[in-house]
Amino acid sequence: MKSDSSINLSDFMTFLLYDIINATPLFSHIDMNHVLVCSAYNKKVTGGGIFAKVVPMRFENGVPVKKFKGHWYAFPKIMNNGFEILYIVYFYIPRYFDLPAYEKLNVAFHELYHISPKFNGDVRRMGRYKFSHGYSKEHFNNQFKDELSHYYNRIKNTPLNTILEMNFAQISEHFETVYTRNMKVPRPKKIKYN
């Protein structure tokens, strides 16, 4: 039975990330004022595909411009509520919301862990060659597994977890209207730079 309420899933995920950050000292360097949460669509339900991703808005070490093949490049400047955005986190619909609640949290923690400890618009670099996850994704996920378990136990009997327990079809059935924030993935563009 549908309720007469609506839900913005991008705002819900913003609140979830904010709550994770406030409850988890490992992520205390992250300021959600400079993070924008968006949705993307991926209807493929089997095989590959991703559940979420972080898009950094700076180059390595947080530099705002980079020279490549004789040209200078910069990411477009994105503002939200008066704050410059350093990271965009995308959650894929419906794939992400069809995960079990604990796995939804695992993906959220995983994406937050990608954010550089310097919070400079670059990602956390785990190694020289395989900088994104280091030598294994399992090792990457082990860096926050205790914090993830602690957070899940903290919220498992709360209204927050009630929504996390729903899959996308159940969310669509429960809420009268489901909204998301959508934005094309920003790409670096050529600029004039001296």
Going by the DSSP 8-state scheme, the letter that residue 157 receives in this structure is: T
Rounded to two decimals, the pTM is 0.90
**Contact yes or no for 86/57 (Cβ under 8 A):** yes
> pLDDT for 120-135, tens place per residue?
999 998 766 555 665 5
Distances (CA, A) of 75 to 15, 59, 102, 113, 114: 26, 9, 34, 22, 19
Cα–Cα distance between 37 and 91 in angstroms, integer?
A: 8
Domain residue limits, the chain: 6-191
Q: Over 80: is that where the pLDDT of 110 sits? A: yes
| 166: CB partners within 8 A, 6+ apart | 97, 174
Cα–Cα distance between 76 and 97 in angstroms, integer?
A: 29
Count CA atoms closer than 13 A to 18's CA, side-chain side: 13
Distances (CA, A) of 131 to 82, 127, 137, 154: 32, 4, 11, 32
What value does the mean pLDDT of the chain take?
91
Pairing of strands 177-179, 6-8: parallel
